[in-house]
Structures are given as structure tokens and as C-alpha cells.
Chain A
Amino acid sequence: MQSKRVQIIVILVFAAILGLCLYSAYPFQSSIKLGLDLEGGTQIILKPSEIGAEQVTDSALDKAQLIILNRIDKLGISEPLITRDYNKNIIVQLPGVDDPKRAIELIGKTAQLEFRILESFDENDNPVFGPVLMTGDKLAKAEAGYDSNGSIVVSMAFTSEGQTEFAKITSENVGKQLAIVLDGEMKSAPRIKQAIEGDAVIEGIDTLAEAQDIALVLQTGALPVSLEIQESQTIGPTLGQDSLRQSMLAGIIGFALIAIFMVALFRGLGLISLIGLIAYIIIFWGILAALKTPLTLPGIAGTILTIGMAVDANVLIFARIKEEMLKGKGKYAAFSEGFKNALKAIIDSNVTTLITAAALYRFGTGPIRGFAVTLAIGVFISMFTAIILVRAILFLMVDTRVITPGFIGVKLPKITREVVKEK
């Protein structure tokens, strides 16, 4: 017989884990990070494509993400989340933003600033440029404001390297028109009167707000890829709260029903499985809080589902214990056999669930990923609580008088009962 000390240690370890999880999940309301569909906010999915010769590489995407983050920061939006999915799409999540117009405009702007010589105009009056002489990466500062004539401009200051370069370009091209091109659109083309050392300005802007946006994107740098909006989704604050409240309610009532059902069927064993289930829920929340995995709506549904499924392992074990008891085995033998016989089926069914969770995580986006994560976490924890914890508690109790066939919910045939008593 396994010594009691082992069981006590197992239970103590679980108690410690539970303590840690409660600590990490406290305070309850703020510890769990909510996904956008529950908290409200905006999600934008952007598909990158290359600009000119620059390929869509991982490092280009990293840079793009950083630039987007900087731009959003400048808008004063708190806790933006910028990630990439498996198709290399960039996903921008802005919690609490319910009017994302300005953010979308800012994020999408490539902000490719080019200085080129204006050579001529074609028959459709489109400008024809010479080669790119300089780009926006030599900028030190960009500021929106008014020039001496009162028209709206963005004034740019170069880095020292940029200043030298700009001076060189202007001195070599005196008398020509220097076009300032932003994202393929010619903003202005002043004629170069003399070599310029210092600043340059962008003209031809309609509103001050637009000038501020241009200054902002110029300062944060040009995106190395061009981004096309694939999907934008805004969830208002009420919808998410409704969903959260309703699914929580479903979880609580569902749990109560499961509890009644288990106790009705398995009596004392059912009660102990509930200890396992409560431990499961606490550890689940604790891990969710610790991992900062956002809880999404499908995630909650997944959680509710895993509560039902977490009981499954115990049902399998208890059914086996009942079966062994009915065969006339003693308490200890019935318990050991019950756990042993059920284990294979439990592991097999959990591994297969993990396979589906992995597929969902790999190929899903947003909320579906949240679902996959919660499903996987749920499967892992339920294995620990339903098998190890419940087992430890039961084996600690097996010798005591508490454990009787009635405790297990078994009605032994009269004749077997006599024998079991004597064993």
C-alpha cells in the first residue's frame, strides 16, 4: 500500500498551488485580462505587402509593428496589443476604442517620404520624377504649424547626416524643382534657388489635423511594408459586458447543476470530485491570470465546456470503482483497479482533445486562439485535479470508516456485502 505520507504531501502541494492561484487571481475583477469581444474595443487586421524592392520579411514586420505601436502611443491609446498571425497579418487591438477612424488612418499611412527632382509632366498632367535622392529616414523632427504666409505646413528638421546630404542635393540641383513626395503623392515642388542647409517644409495640406497626422507618422518613421486593412471590428462596451455576465451566469448555474448531479449519483465520491472541480476552477483562473491570456467569448464557452468535461475523468474512474466493488473486491483493491483501468481512456481522450486545440491555435485568429488556449489549459489542469488530487484524497480516506459502499453509491448484493465486511 502506498504510504499515507505521499498522499499528504500531494495534498499539501495542491494546497500550496491553490494558494498561489488564488493570490494570482486576486482581485478577481481585474486579474483576468479580457479579450476585445468582452471588454469592447477595436481590432484591425492588416495584410502587409512589399513596397518596391523591399520584401515582407520577419524583420520588416517587426519594424512595422514597432512603428504602429509608436503611432498608437502618440494617440494616447492605452494598452494597445499588436501581434502577428500565422499568415503574417498584423493584428492591432485597441481596447476601449469605440471610434477607431483616426487610429485606422494613422496606422495605415505608409509615410514614405521621398525627395526627388521633378522632371516634367506627362500628357495626363502627372508629374514625372527623377530617382529618389533622399528619404524620410534622415529626419530628426517633424512639426505641424503655419508658415509666414499663414498656410499650413509640416516643417522638418534633418539629422546632421541628413543636413549634409540635403545641402549636397540642393547645391547640385540649383534651378530645378525639388518634389516632396509623400506616399506617392507630390505635396509640393519648390524651385531650388540655392543650396539649403537646415530645414524643409511640406506644403499643400488642407487642415491642421491632417498636418498633425503627417508630422506624427513622419516622426515615427516610414513603414517598411504597405498595409492593407483586411478586417476592422469594433465592439461597443455594452455588448461585451452582456456576454460576460451571461456566460458567467451560465457557468455558475451549470456548475451547481453538475454538483447536484454528481452527488446524487456518486454520493460521497461525488462530493470529493467536487473538491477536485473547485480546485480545477481556481487553478484555471490562476493560470489564466498569470499567463495574461485574454479571456474571449469563445474562451468562456470553452471553459464552461471543459468544466463538464473535467468531470469526465472522475466519472470514468468512479464508474470503474463501482464496477470493481460490485465484483466483490475490497475497498482498496477496487480503488486501485478503478484508477488503473480508467487511466488509459482518460489519457487517450485528453491527448486527442489537445490535438484539436493545437490545430485551432495554429490556424485560428483572435478569439478562436483564446478558445484554443483555454481548452488546452483546461485539459491539462483537469488531468491533474481529477486524477492526482482526487486520488490522493481518496487513498488517504480509504482505510477510514467514512468509505463505505454507501459512500460510493454502490448497493452491493446482500451476499457480497457480508464478504466485503469481513475483508
Chain B
Amino acid sequence: MSKKNKIAAKNMIKTKNVATDIPQLRSYRFDFLGKSKFVVIISTVFIITGIVFFLTRGFNFGIDFRGGNLMEVKFQKDISISELRVTMEEIGYGKAILQSTGSDRYIIRTVQLTDEEKTKILDDLDKKIGITKPLIQDRNVAAGFSQTIIKNALIAVAISIAGILIYVWIRFAVRFAIVTIVELLHDLLIILSFYTISHREFNSTTIAVILTILGYSLSDAVVIFDRVREELRFGKTDRFPDLVNYSINKTIVRSLITGTTTFFPIIVLLIVGNETLKDFGFGLLVGIISGTFSSIFIGPPLLVLWNKRFPVYKK
């Protein structure tokens, strides 16, 4: 490159540099706001399906939420679920819920049992099929206690949401806070729908999943809002929808990368994990997808809509 050209290039860059620092119309590649209605439609369909399942079949609550007795038994030989069901009927517990965790392993859930009743079931099973001791697991929850667990779970979720609301309100503005809450409620409904549709076990661990997802979704939302807040300082001349779209375009790479890195261990967990880990993993997986989508396609459009009705920023 000749010296003359070099100087010319240098000047060009200089002007370009200056240009990026001057408030200008933000140009972006992809119109995320425009695509939001598809996501809203998909979410709505999913949630309505979830509600239908909830009304017809309800949640598959774990025993910590409904009380009762759970035993996981390893038998001395392989046995099919129908054979085991017949045996359970013979010993008077035809209503027990059976779940296979291996060819010779079953989870048997019944109503709450006294010690004598439990001993009798195990003795009968031992006589008829043969069981290995000690049991893989054995859990007994009083019906009244599950009420307390549910109450605590609801309090935990409510308190987290309230805490988040206040924090976002302080750090951003009230409209950001309220939009965030709508996003989180969306994620909450999606996860709950997932658990009714898939009929996977819903227990107190699920509450941990839900709160983790709310935290995750929130991080996504905050990163985008943080960018909007930053651009607002420089881009006062931009239309607000453009500015929001620009901010999403600028943060989308991060959202996808973080989503992917969080995905990896969960996917592995789903492949190698046992049933307990899978109940956990599926919830996380659905939640992370939901959280990523809601932070892009639910929150920001709402923010723009709000600004249309009650403009603070340039329409």
C-alpha cells in the first residue's frame, strides 16, 4: 500500500471513528420485535394446552406435596409392571402408583402407611416375588405436613418475585420492573404447563428448578434492559422501537452463548441421569428455552407497547 493510500485510509477510519461516537440512527440486522407475535402465539398455545391438562389430569405431585408413602424396591428378579400390579392387587394395594426405575426396580407410592401396614406390604412382596434389603428409598409424609411444604414453596416464589420487582424498579424504572414480572410469570406458566403436559413429577425440587429458571430468565432480561438503558443515554434521537431492536441485536450473541453453555451440562444430565435427575433436568431445559425467548420476544415488545401508550421515550 502506497503512503498516499495509507493516509487516505487513515482519514477514512478517523471519520468512521468519530461517526460511531456521534448519536446516530441505530441500524440493526434483525427485527426481533416484529417476530414477537409468533412467540406469543406458540407460548399461548402451550400454556392453554397446559391448562387443559391441568384441568383434566392435574399435576403429578410428589409425595412431599400430597402426603403418603413412597418405597423404592429392588426385587430379586426382573418383573414387569403389569405383573407387579397384579401382585399389589392381591395384597390389597391395587391403587398403588407404580413406576419402574429399572427392570427389577420399582417405585411404589401408596397412601400414608402405619409401620405395621408397611411391614406387611414388604413381607408380602418378599414372599411373592422376593425383595432385597435395605430398600433403595423409603419416604413417608404426613398429609398435614405437605400443606406446610406447599405453603413454604409459594412463599419462596412470591418473595423472590417481589424482591426482583423491587430491585429492578430501583435499578431501572417501574415499567422495566413490571415488564420483567410479566416475563417471569410467562416462564412460570410455561414450566408449570410443561409439568402438567409431560406429567413428570412435581415436587419441592421442582420449586428449586422454577426459582433457578426465574433467576436465569431474569439475568437475560436484565442484560437486554441494561443495553437499552445504555443506548437511551446516547440515542435520544432514535425511535424507541429501533433502539430496543438494536439493543437485542447487540446482546443476542451473549444470550445464545450463555444459553448454550448452560445447556451442555443439562443435556448430559438428561442422558446419564436417573429419574430424579431427569425430573430436574427437563424442567431446567424447558425453563432456559422459555427464559431466553421471553427475554427477547415478550419483555421488549411489551416495553415498546407501553411506551406507545404512555410515551417517555421517542415513539
Contacts and interface: CB of A to CB of B under 8 A. Distances in A.
Interface of A: 45, 47, 86-87, 98-99, 101, 228-239, 242-243, 246-247, 249-251, 253-255, 257-258, 261-262, 265, 297-298, 301-302, 304-305, 307-309, 311-312, 315-316, 319, 323, 327-328, 341, 344-345, 348-353, 355-360, 362-365, 367-368, 371-372, 375, 415-416, 418-419, 422
Contact of B134 (A99, A307, A309): A99
A233 B72 CA distance: 11
B290 to A, nearest CB: 15
A254 B284 CA distance: 15
A231 B223 contact: no
Nearest to B101: A239
Contacts of B276: 243, 297
B136 A363 contact: no
Nearest to B73: A236
A356 B254 contact: no
B76 interface: no
Identify which of A99, A319, A367, A372 gathers the most chain B CB atoms within 10 Å of its CB.
A319
B100 to A, nearest CB: 15
B163 A297 contact: no
Given A87-B148, A309-B216, 7 more contacts: A232-B140, A308-B264, A308-B265, A352-B163, A359-B155, A363-B156, A375-B215
B27 interface: no
A316 B254 contact: yes
Identify which of A86, A251, A254 gathers the most chain B CB atoms within 10 Å of its CB.
A254
B226 to A, nearest CB: 4
B266 A305 contact: yes
Interface in B247-292: 250-251, 253-254, 257-258, 260-269, 271-274, 276-277, 280-281, 284
Interface of B: 1, 6, 9-10, 12-13, 16-17, 20, 64, 72, 74, 115, 134-142, 144-145, 148-149, 152-153, 155-157, 159-160, 163-164, 167-168, 171, 204-205, 207-208, 211-212, 214-216, 218-219, 222-223, 226-227, 230, 250-251, 253-254, 257-258, 260-269, 271-274, 276-277, 280-281, 284
Contacts of A353: 215-216, 218-219
Given A242-B274, A352-B167, A363-B159, A368 B219 contact: no
B211 A349 contact: no
Nearest to B270: A250
Contact of B269 (A242, A257, A301, A351): A301
Contacts of A101: 115
A230 B147 CA distance: 11
A236 B219 contact: no
Given A230-B144, A234-B138, A243-B277, A341 B222 contact: no
Contacts of B211: 356, 359-360
